[in-house]
Amino acid sequence: MARTGVIICHCGSNIASVVDVERVALAAGQMPGVTYAATNKYTCSISGQDMIKQAIAEHELDRLVIASCTPRMHETTFRKMLTKTSINPYMLEIANIREQCSWVHTDKEKATEKAIDLVHMAVAKVLKDQPLFTSSIPVHKKCLVVGGGIAGIQAALDVAEAGYEVTLVEREPSIGGKMVMLDKTFPTLDCSACISTPKMAEAGAHPNIRLMTSCEISAVTGYIGNFQVTIRQKPRYVNHDTCTGCGLCEEKCPTKVTNLFDQSLSKRKAIYKLFPQAVPAKPVIDSEHCTMLKSGKCGLCSKLCPLGCINFEDQEDFITETFGAIVLATGYDLIDWAKAYPEYGGGKYANVISGLQFERLVNASGPTEGHIQRPGDGAEPKTVVIVKCVGSRDPAKAKAYCSRACCMYAAKHAHQILEKIEGSKVYVFYIDVRTPGKGYEEFYDKTRADGAVYIRGRVSKIYEEGGKLICKGEDTLIGKQVAVEADMVVLETAMEPAHGSTETAATAGVSADKDGWLTEAHPKLRPVETQTAGVYLCGTAQGPKDIPDTVAQASAAAAKVLGLLAKDELETSPMISVVDAPKCSGCGFCEQVCPVKAISMVDVPSMYNGKRVTRTVAQVNSGLCSGCGACSAACRTGCIDLLGFTNKQILEEVDALWQE
Amino acid sequence: MARIDAENWEPKILAFCCNWCTYTGADLAGLNRMKYPDNIRIVRVPCSGRVNPQFILRGFQKGYDGVLVCGCHPGDCHYTSGNYFTRRRFLLMKRLLEYAGIETGRFQARWISGAEAAKFRDTVLKVTEEIRALGPNHRMKEADDHE
Amino acid sequence: MKYSYFPGCGMEATGIEYAKSLAFVNRAIGVEFIEIDDWNCCGATAGHSTSHELGMALPARNLALSEQQRPGMPIVVPCASCYSRMKYALQAAQGSENEKLSRLIGMPVSGAAEIVSIMEAYSDPVAAEAIKAAIKKPLDGLKVACYYGCLYTRPPKVTGMENCEDPQAMDELVRLTGAACVDWAFKTECCGAGHHVDLPAESKPLLYKIYKNARANGAQAIITACPMCMMNLDMRQGAVNMAYGEDFDLPVYFLTELLAVAMGAGFGECGVATHFHPAKKLLQNLINNKEVV
Amino acid sequence: MSDVQNTLRDRVRSLLAEGKISCFIGWGPTRFKDRTIPKFANKPEDAGELVYNEHCLSNLAKYALDFQFSAEVAGIAVRGCESRAINRLIADGRLTRSKLYLVGIPCEGMLENGSTAEKCAFCRHRNPVVYDELIGEPVAEQENPPRFEQVLELESASSEDRYDFWQREFAKCIRCYACRNACPACNCMECYTEQYRTGWQGKQANTLENSVFGFTRAYHIGDRCIECGECERVCPMGIPLMKLNRKLVKDVESLFGSEESGLSDDASHALGCYDKEDLEEFM
């Protein structure tokens, strides 16, 4: 027989001035299963809690109803208190007679009646409470960072510095990402490589960081603290354990290939390092272009390598490891503007280039050693048109969103042209100029003072006539059509999620929005977390942003990871779903409605008509279940139930007022 | 629970409120000392997606004159998708209840966020009045059936 | 292949050459255009700039007539202005304005029939194959600029034109004659036809730029499929030359004229003989030179 | 029809003889000429006892559950309704396609008491939607049978009349659960009505509990009902259950644009998914 204790709180006069608490206590004392009912002036106070503890001991209570303020206020307080008593902390129900009764009603008689009803419902529910126990899951103190751009590097370094092991996975042969392609960074104009390559080197040499380049994640199972991740190591054809990176192979390789790192503005070899400061500083073979791998002829590198590092038989490899936390820093790509903008020539004019191509042109380690030359003929352009929002803020052609960084790097490009080419002219076509950032507006002002001409309007067409690129558009400030004859046009194109990033994220249980940017758990309050506990986001994987924001977010993600890895064990809420397997039909309805993929259909041995058979039933992963109860409402039999809010408990609450 | 005679009849309304939005909104109404009729009895659930439509039938069966299901606005579910399933379930259930002969208005669903204390108050006011206008519910009700 | 045919007002007036050459090509490739009985104005210019309802009701009536007379048969519209109006009406009939339209014209209109331009009709694989087979005097050596103008391409939501910034349908048909199409930048620019009378100062530069870019890219002639563009580009070339001190010599041909000539039509028979800007010589020389060789 | 019966017997005989199937579920004779019962043929010689005529009213699909854990393949005759039922059972995880051999039979509707059976009147899928082999030629489908006529009629009645209607009907119910047992969508291992500990509802056969059962069952199968009409056919008290089921089928189709249940063995069903753009009437 249950021995329920009911405590009615006065909350000073907050409750007692409207609700006749003594009458409620009297009524509660008459309810079935109630052994003890009393009032208390301030139940949440130390003395109030002591009184409860005493009552529990004295009356041998085995469950408790507290009628007080909202459970959202003190449920945790009282659960904590119960851990010091003989009652299980989950054998507690709270009747909300303050926020949902005394504060919202004025008629004392009716408010008292309602309070009695609410206590009655809580008593009915508590009678069906079961002791629940938090379980703990061990935390594997190791972090996986996916993506080796500046976001991934920063997150990896922060976690590694705190003393935890990090594996940094990058699909390219070197870490560095997009930042290392850039020449200078706005608004300070410090050299991008000068500030990013030391970070790369640090990551490459850090004792706590394991770099895995030319790798991709192919599968993720498990849950927070315990993710089993399968990493696919693509064949490199060069043994990186023995290679010293002497570079002889690359020098002698006879096959020349378009260099994508230089945005197709130069050639590289079929055995290559991504760029001179690559980390690791060792080459790989491009299997698509190597003549040996394609047709079995050549093998020059293999003959020349003094250490015999070349292995044409290299195969892909799968490595499975356990991680406690995952950071997704999968970055961005620029849109294929040629497809979206045939009116800009659709790629047929060599001197219409993207902003990233310009970065390579102006970069001292780029194909022109930093001299701004037209890709078409190598001439120095005197008049340059910069077009902003190519694909951004243009839902009819490409993306509806703003790519955030372009306003600033457009100003930077204008500044660089004016600085490097004497007597040059720069025209910037824009929709708006957005410069929210420290020193940003000042930089934009300076660029205009330097002589950049800003024209408010979109460019409607670019065509070549008489060796010039004619950029037609409208100057919306004066309402006139304008045409600028340019030697070169730089298109500041929209960012889009890196190809394959949504698939990679889906592997880790993270969803993407309609544009493919990965979705954070809450846009304001949980910006680096995801719906999957233990998986975090940072950098442009989450949405377009510039380098300062990217790095800040990477450190934020690292802080979240550290908060997790600092724990030896995670306490899991016991209020999760459980399956009554023998009754489960295996229809999979619960699996369909689960928001966190905590339910899987598994084969279990079973008995059927006296025979041993294998049946498929639902199984809940207690590490993943978030306790929403959608499964429970979906199940027709009622064989999957949410502990703490069971079908029986809710039915009892509904029935409570009508029981004789 | 004392049976109330017809003259002093007051509607009793059962409300299922999700912990993260509507229950919080109801708490906020209290915090702001808003006033609304005392006819409502709230059952706290983690998510509106937890509400099995059979609970609604049970509410009428036992004697509630009206039943309300409340959750976060579509798109704001604490668990991402719970209320989208809620919406489907109750679009269907509402029509089934009406087809079964339960008067329109006895069952209602609303999206009320944690900040919409005033909407919570207004909803309770409106629903209470609508159900008062319909009078005591005798359909699908246990006590009547036994008579 | 049969089409319900909406000729529009231009085909027996300024676009007579278009009508002649069209008839020749259709005969040669076995395509039949059956004129809609009792058709009326398409609602362009004066119509749709007076009132939205008028601009919709006029073309909708033509749609409804075609639906009545030849249910399900696609409607071919040779003029770009007519094409645009009919497409607008089609969309309205398929959408929420259906009831209103039916009321306005006093007969039901479903919007079930397809509206096609000459380019679309001839791009049909069967027709294209027939065109290829009917070419008797290939025009190789000729370099032309295909000019689509504005109303076939824009707005793409209405016209449904693929790749509206750099359309290819006309280019592909022209290539069937053996002629080469230059890659140029003014395929879809406005030629200013609608405003040449009231705003000549604004419209002339538009023509000038078109001629200039066509010539700069090596075109010997301009091809169009719009009677308005034809009139504008053909008739006003001399005036532009005078105003700019230029010597553009760019004969303008209807797409159908070029096809007809390549199929062996006589210059008078297909209309080439009666252009404002002399158009016969270029093609004659091309054909004669070949025959000599 | 006798052709179909002969071919069916021949095919079943050889399927059993070849060991392709271990058992065949079809129809067999009774002592009444116008009645048949489900018949299980286990040996080739049993095939001769199979019957196929215009009196084969039973939907056989649920009998396939007897073989759900069998190692061998079971054969079964499937018309439109059986084939959709089989798809439903596969989608709900109760049957495995590879363990079934489906002999399709196009059906022109069965007779009940001399006229077209009520369950066949609104059939839209007389031809099986899935089968391994087909006996006979496909038949023409009924074009737009007025499936929802009765529902619309009741919908137009007053709320009170609707209530009275269903209370009158459910007053007849004896809670024999024949409807549930015959229904291919009611395929739970254990029905919610048996969950006495949870106490979803009382066992009493009174009007209220009966109607709670009726409406709950309708909701449970609402988005999965294949409209075979078997529940209504087997009801000994003549309760018009399809009038209830078709209400849900109608609403599911119009609210969520779902296709009819059982056309494929795809597990998705209206309440197991959502569309962010679903109708919004709870603002």
Tens of pLDDT along A103-147? 999 999 999 999 999 999 999 999 999 999 998 889 999 999 999
Which residues, in sequence order, are bridge partners of residue A96?
A68
Tokens linked to A630: 């959608």
Chain A: give the shortest CA distance to residue D4, in Å. 35
CA distances from A128 to A4, A63, A90, A580, A652 (A): 11, 10, 11, 17, 8
A71 cis-preceded (ω within 30 degrees of 0): no
Q: Is the dihedral of CA B40, B44, B45, B47 positive or negative?
A: positive
Tell if the CB–CB gap between C183 and A348 is shorter than 8 Å: yes
User: Rg of the Cα trace of chain A?
Assistant: 33
* Single-letter amino acid, residue B71: G
Name which of D201, D244, D282, D283 to mutate to probe chain B: the one with the most chain B Cβ atoms within 10 A of its Cβ: D282
Q: Both tokens of residue C191?
A: 């030629």
Whether the per-residue pLDDT at A467 is higher than 60: the answer is yes
Question: Please, which residues have CB within 8 angstroms of residue D55's CB and are 6 or more apart in sequence?
Answer: D33, D34, D35, D36, D110, D111
- Chain D, nearest residue to B73 by Cα: D283
Q: What's the pLDDT tens digit per position in A12-51?
A: 999 999 999 999 999 999 999 999 999 999 999 999 999 9
Q: Find the largest Cα–Cα distance for chain B.
A: 46
Nearest to B139 by CA among D217, D154, D164, D171: D164
Q: Which residues pair with A570 in a beta bridge?
A: A137
The minimal CB distance from B35 to the residues A104, A117, A595 is found for: A104
Chains meeting D at 3+ CB pairs closer than 8 A?
A: A, B
Other CB atoms closer than 10 Å to residue C116's CB: what's the count?
18
Query: Which positions in chain A have a beta carbon within 8 angstroms of at least one beta carbon in chain D?
Result: 582-589, 592-593, 601, 608, 611, 613-616, 634, 636-639, 646-648, 651
Q: What is the three-class DSSP state of A227?
A: strand
Chain D neighbors of B103, CB-CB under 8 A: 159
Residue D200 in this model has a pLDDT that exceeds 80: yes
The full set of domains in chain B, from first to last, is 13-146 (3.40.50)
Token duo for residue A306: 């003094």
Residue with tokens 């839209």: D124
> Are B and C neighbours with ≥3 CB pairs closer than 8 A?
no
Dist CA B36 CA B117 (whole Å): 11
Chains C and D touch (3+ CB pairs under 8 A): no
- CA–CA separation, A113 vs A257, rounded Å? 84
Determine the Cα–Cα distance for residues D131 and A578; give it in Å rounded to an integer: 38
For the segment D204-209, the average pLDDT, to the nearest whole number, is: 92
Q: Are B14 and A654 within 8 A, CB to CB?
A: yes
- What does the pLDDT read at residue B4? 53
Cα–Cα distance between B38 and B12 in angstroms, integer? Answer: 9
| A638/D93 CB distance under 8 A | no
Nearest Cα of chain A lies from the Cα of D225 at a distance, in angstroms, of 14
Minimal-distance CA residue of chain A relative to C185: A463
Chain D hits for A607, Cβ within 8 Å = none
Show the 3-state SS of A91-102: CEEEEECHHHHH
Chain B contact present for A658, CB below 8 A: yes
What pLDDT shows up at residue B2?
A: 43
Tell me what percent of chain B is helix, strand and coil, each rounded to the nearest 5: 45, 15, 40
Distance from CA of A431 to the nearest CA of C (A): 21
pLDDT band at residue B145 using 50, 70 and 90 as cut-offs? very low
In terms of CATH architecture, what is A135-234+316-331+501-568?
3-Layer(bba) Sandwich (3.50)
Give the long-range contacts of residues B105-108, CB within 8 A, separation 24 or more: B105/B66, B105/B130, B105/B131, B105/B134, B106/B60, B106/B65, B106/B66, B106/B67, B106/B131, B106/B134, B106/B137, B107/B56, B107/B66, B107/B67, B107/B68, B107/B69, B108/B66, B108/B67, B108/B68, B108/B69, B108/D282
Place of tokens 């009132």: C51
Contacts with A321 (C-beta within 8 Å, 6 or more apart), sequence order: A142, A144, A167, A228, A229, A231
pLDDT tens column, A387-427: 999 999 999 899 999 999 999 999 999 999 999 999 999 99
What percent of chain C shows pLDDT beyond 90? 83
pLDDT of B144 > 80? The answer is no
Please state the domain extents for chain A.
4-126, 135-234+316-331+501-568, 237-314, 334-496, 577-642
Q: What was the pLDDT predicted at D1?
A: 66
Of A342, A348, A465, the CB nearest to C165: A342
> Residue D156: closest CA among chain B residues belongs to which residue?
B99
Question: Measured between CB atoms, does B90 come within 8 Å of chain D?
Answer: yes
Whether chain C has a CB inside 8 Å of the CB on A468: the answer is no
CA D55/CA D37 separation, integer angstroms = 9
How distant, in Å, are the alpha carbons of A164, A464, A476, A518, D70 from that of A563? 12, 58, 51, 22, 52
Q: How far is B20 from chain D (nearest CA, A)?
A: 17
Strands A215-223, A226-233: pairing kind: antiparallel
Query: Chains near A, with 3+ CB pairs < 8 A?
Result: B, C, D
Helix spans in chain C (H): 16-29, 46-50, 52-69, 80-94, 98-105, 118-123, 125-134, 156-159, 169-176, 200-216, 227-235, 237-244, 255-262, 267-270, 280-292
Q: Which domains does chain C have, with CATH numbers?
A: 2-118 (1.20.1050.140), 137-292 (3.40.50.11810)
Residues in chain C: 293
Q: What's the pTM?
A: 0.72
Cis check for the bond before C155: say yes or no (omega within 30 of 0).
Answer: yes
Q: Which amino acid is at B104?
A: T
pLDDT digits (tens, 9 = 90+) for B49-81: 999 999 999 999 999 999 999 999 998 888 888
Low-confidence spans in chain C with pLDDT less than 50: none
Q: At the top level of CATH, which class does the domain A577-642 belong to?
A: alpha beta
Return the structure tokens found at D150. Answer: 């009765």
Residues of chain B in contact with residue D215, where contact means CB-CB under 8 angstroms, are 57, 96-97, 100
Q: Which residues in chain A are contacts of C165 at CB distance < 8 A?
A: 341-343, 346
Largest CA distance in chain C: 64
Check CB contact of D273 with chain A, cutoff 8 Å.
Answer: yes
Question: Is residue A167 within 8 Å of residue A323, measured between CB atoms?
Answer: yes
3-state secondary structure of C204: helix
- The pLDDT of residue B147 is 40
C-alpha distance from residue C54 to each of A145, C38, C42, C58, C105 (Å): 64, 18, 10, 6, 10
- Do the domains A135-234+316-331+501-568 and A334-496 sit in the same CATH topology, yes or no? yes
The class of domain A4-126 in CATH terms is alpha beta
CA quadruple A580, A581, A583, A589: dihedral positive or negative?
A: positive
Least confident segment among B3-12, B102-111, C173-182: B3-12
Rounded CA separation B10/B2 (Å): 13
- Whether residue A635 is predicted with pLDDT greater than 90 in this model: the reply is yes
User: Whole-number mean pLDDT of chain A?
Assistant: 95
pLDDT digits (tens, 9 = 90+) for A274-289: 999 999 999 999 999 9
Integer-rounded Cα Rg, in Å, for chain D is: 20
pLDDT at A225: 93
Least trusted range by pLDDT, from A612-626, B116-130, D81-95, D225-239: A612-626
Residue A257 reports pLDDT greater than 70: yes
- Interface residues of D toward B, Cβ cutoff 8 Å, are 154-155, 159-167, 192, 200, 206-208, 211-212, 215-216, 218-219, 222-223, 244, 247-248, 251-252, 255-256, 270-271, 274-276, 278-283
DSSP state of D51: B
| pLDDT for the residue B1 | 43
Instruction: Measure the N-to-C terminal CA separation of chain C; round to a whole number of Å.
Output: 38
Element (H, E) at B44: strand B40-45
Complex confidence, ipTM: 0.67
* Domain covering A334-496 in this structure, CATH number: 3.50.50.60
Look at residue A245 in the predicted model and tell me its pLDDT: 92
Question: Which of A66, A69, A70 shows the shortest CA–CA distance to A14?
Answer: A69
**Closest residue of B to D169, CA-based?**
B100
Distance of alpha carbon B61 from alpha carbon D207, whole angstroms: 12
pLDDT of residue C201: 87
* CB-based contacts of C223, cutoff 8 Å, min separation 6: C144, C145, C146, C147, C170, C174, C252, C253, C254, C255, C258
